[in-house]
Structure 1
Amino acid sequence: MATDIFKEEYNNVQEENDRYRQLNSQLKDHLVCLDREIAVADSRIQEKLTIPGGIVKHQGKHRRHMGRIRILENELHQDTIKFSKLMCSNADYRKKIAHLQQQKVTGWNIEEKLNRHLATQQSIMDKLEVKLSLAFNLRSEGETRMQEMRESMEVETLDFIKRRMELMTVIHHDAKLQAFMETKLQEIALLEEDEDSKRREKQLQNQNGGKKSDVYLQAYNTLVEMTGERDLCQIERIFIRNEERNFALINYINEQHYKLNKLKRCINKRKSDILFLELENKRLEEQRAREFQELESEVEKNSCVADSLEKQCAVVQKRLDDLMTGISSLYAEIMQTSVTVTLDNVVNVLATLEDRIIELLLQANMQDEPPQKLLLGNFDLLPEGRKSQPRSPKFARSDGK
């Protein structure tokens, strides 16, 4: 809508400028012709005045010339009025040119703001791309670490199962040996407690000693087969070492159970962290996608606005260039010098043209020839003090006489 209004205003300004140039050219040609006719008429009058009896002889011709001059004066007066109106409308043209210049400056400011906004959006897009690449790198690194942890956990789990089987086998054998040793130690303790009674019943023991000695001998032979030692003290030390080793293995198993539970807790924590990171990454990706779509739509909208403003600016610039070309050519015709018209000096050039045209009209009005004074006396652009009253036809005829 604004573009159509600007185009219409520029077309009107261009048409008025063309009419102004055409009228100005016609007025100049007409003024030149009138000046020539007036000069010829004055020269003829002067020649006739120098001839004796010329006034009476050529009185009729003089009256005809004066009527012709009055007709030309009236035509010149009408053309002068048209030129005055045209010069008065020049102020409107300057206002329109100033308005167009303001519109052009406003368009430049809007374009600059859009460029800054686009630069800001581009920087935001670059930051988002950097964050996105960093998130992808972190995700890849987390997946790599998760894979490594899974592989290490599988290896440690297999090792743990293998060692656990070995330890369970050793514990099973040690448990059997410990149960056997406890049984034998309890029997030995019972034997030591009953040592006094055995002494008192020595005879009875001697009678029954054959059977019990066979049992003890069998147990002793079994211990010798298992330990490979015949000394009871050495066998006791072997049992004590086995007991200590069993306690150490039990502690090791408990430690492995603690490590396994710790690894399970760590795995569960890693799984929860991975799930949280995946959800967070999904949320960030959706947010970035929405922001990216919004930025793309905004950039597209700003690009359309910028293109429209550039087209309007080009049209305004073309119209201004045409106006400046016309003003420059008019200035060259009137001032007889060439000048480069720009946006900075167009108002000054127009003011100079007006001053020069007024000066030329004043110079023409101040000449000695009465017809020229009559022609320029009522020019509307002249100052009030320099305007003269038009002569009536009666007064003109009296002057002719």
Structure 2
Amino acid sequence: MIQGRSPISARSDNSEMDGAESSEITKLQRQLRIMERDRQTYNFQAREQIRKQQQEIEKLMREQEELHRNLGACKNSSRQQRDNEDGQSLQVLLEQRDVIEEELEKERQAQKQLQKEILSIEVKLAEVRKGAASSSDKQRSEAGRTLKAMRTLEYKLDRVFTRFNEQLAKNNRLKEELQTLHIERVRFQQLRSRLNKELQEVHKSIGQIINHSTAAYDGRAEAQTKMSTMKEKAEKDRAHYNAEMKELERIFSHEFSTKDFMSIKGRKLTEQDDDHEMTPRQISVLKEQKVDSGEESLEALEEVFERIQAVMGEDNLDLLVNRFIQAEDRNFALFNFVNEQNNEAETLRKQISQIQKQMEQLQLEGLQREQQHRSLLRGIEEQRKEYESQAETYENQANAESRILDEIKEGVNSVLFKMECDRSLIDDKL
């Protein structure tokens, strides 16, 4: 016959069961406190990490805005387009912020519900401790529910730790990307500074070339003006010289005619004096010789003398001779003047030839300077195109960095959403 257990052994089993349940409850409470402390530590670390990342993002955004402003000085149209894109992206971010705030509010409600469950479990644990003297079946049931709740909490804690580790890995990756962006930003600033210096040198060279070209054009215009003035002066001097030469030729012709007439008249008067001293026989012989030799007759000479008197208006022969001598002196002086004028004209022709050579040399130098100016302008134009291409490349890099920053912002928003953190401190900045 099977005997039942004694009351002492039953009480011993109950006491052992109560001790096991008490130790299990104590263990669960200790795990619960550890989980709560880990959760608080995790939340604090996550908030601190998010705050640092947000500061870094704000710094990068300020630097990005500065880069956009600097790039906008080179290309206004691209800056306007970028501003429009930034406005659109900002609108999209605001819409995303609203959606994330709604999800965050839902998650906060879920977190509050979880807190309520934890408090309920703690209350139940307290009731379990207080009701340890109740029946073993009720204790087992409560202990089972407590164990189930603890397993649920452990599962949730494992999920939280998993998400925390994933977020830490993502944060490390974002840190590396931020460091890369910092390095690229430093390189970009150095390159931008070098390009600005080169652009200033190019502008300075262009200014010097323009000044040289202006001076060359001014010198060329001055030389052309001087040459035209000297040409006009040379033409006037030549016309004056031709007029004076014609006048002198006319005077010479008149004086030579007068000289010939006076010499003929003087010779005739001398012959008349000789005729008074000769015998009639000699005079007749001389007349025959003159007629035979073809010399002019006395009547012809008298006719010429009468014409001279009619022209000169003077009957005195001595006075006519004195006038002839004076005319000879004047003709000699005029001849010397003509020689001086010829020498001066020759000097002017040499000066004109020299000025023409100088003008040709100036024109040649002007053409050479113009060719050099055009060549330099072509080189400057090529450099300008190269700088514009580089600026466009850097602008593309800046846009790529902007996209990376947008991705970082999305990652931070995702972290905030997953960590159930309060975003009230950074909503205005976003």
Q: By the TM > 0.5 criterion, same fold?
A: yes
The equivalent position to 2:371 in structure 1, one of 286, 290, 296, is 286
Q: Per-residue displacement from partner, 1:245-274 (whole Å, max 9, x unpaired)?
A: 011111111111012112211221122122
Give 1:44 shift. 1.7
- Give 5+ residue unaligned stretches, structure 1: 1-20, 192-197, 347-401
Task: Please give the root-mean-square deviation of Cα atoms over the aligned residues, in Å.
Answer: 4.7
Q: Alpha-carbon deviation of 1:216? A: 12
Alpha-carbon separation, structure 2, partners of 1:184 and 1:317 = 120
Q: Which residue of 2 aligns with 1:303?
A: 388
Distance 1:37 1:305 in 2: 62
Matches of 1:204 and 1:171, distance apart in 2: 37
In structure 2, how many angstroms separate the alpha carbons of the residues matched to 1:310 and 1:341?
28
Provide the rounded CA distance (Å) in 2 between the counterparts of 1:336 and 1:228: 133
Residue 330 of structure 1 corresponds to 416
Q: Which of the numbers 36, 56, 67 marks the counterpart of 2:136?
A: 56
SS in 2 for 1:300: helix
Q: Is the 8 A contact 1:121 1:295 kept in 2?
A: yes
1:248 pairs with 2:333? yes
8 Å Cα contact 1:49/1:55 also seen in 2: no
* Deviation, structure 1 residue 84: 3.1
Deviation at 1:305, TM superposition (A): 1.8
Where 1:93 maps in the other structure, the secondary structure is helix
Matched, 1:170 2:240: no
Partners of 1:27 and 1:79 within 8 A in 2: no
* Per-residue Cα deviation, 1:99-122 (whole angstroms, up to 9, x for no partner): 313423543454454445445434
Say if 1:327 and 1:341, in contact at 8 Å, map to a contact too. Answer: no
Unaligned runs of 5+ residues in structure 2 are 1-99, 291-295
Per-residue deviation, 1:233: 4.5
Deviations 1:376-398 (A, max 9, x none): xxxxxxxxxxxxxxxxxxxxxxx
Distance apart, 1:173 and its partner CA: 4.1
Equivalent residues of 1:114, 1:302 under 8 A apart: yes
In structure 2, how many angstroms separate the alpha carbons of the residues matched to 1:325 and 1:92?
14
Whether the 8 Å CA contact 1:325–1:341 is kept in 2: the answer is no
Q: Give yes or no for contact 1:41–1:65 (8 Å, CA) kept in 2.
A: yes
Q: Which position in structure 1 is the counterpart of 2:242?
A: 161
AA aligned opposite 1:86:
Q
**Which residue of 1 is the match for residue 39 of structure 2?**
none
Q: Secondary structure at the match of 1:334?
A: coil
Count matched residues.
Answer: 311
Q: Residue 176 of structure 1: CA displacement?
A: 5.3
Aligned amino acid, residue 43 of structure 1: V
Q: Which residue of 2 is the match for residue 44 of structure 1?
A: 124
Which piece of structure 1 moves more, 157-166 or 66-75?
66-75
Query: Hey, what's the Cα distance between the residues in 2 that align with 1:141 and 1:261?
Result: 25
> In structure 1, what is the Cα distance between the partners aligned to 2:179 and 2:259?
114
Q: Give 1:80's match in structure 2, choosing from 153, 161, 165.
A: 161
For the 8 Å contact 1:171–1:246, the answer to whether it is kept is yes
What is the correspondence of 1:347-386 to structure 2 with a 5 Å cutoff?
none
Contact 2:216 2:366 in 1 (8 A): yes
**Conserved in 2, the CA contact under 8 Å of 1:48 and 1:55?**
no
1:59–1:204 distance in 2 versus 1, CA, 3 Å: closer
Percent identity reads 20
Distance 1:52 1:89, change over 3 A: closer
Please report how far the alpha carbon of residue 279 of structure 1 lies from its aligned counterpart in structure 2 after TM superposition: 1.5
1:264 alignment partner, one of 340, 349, 374: 349
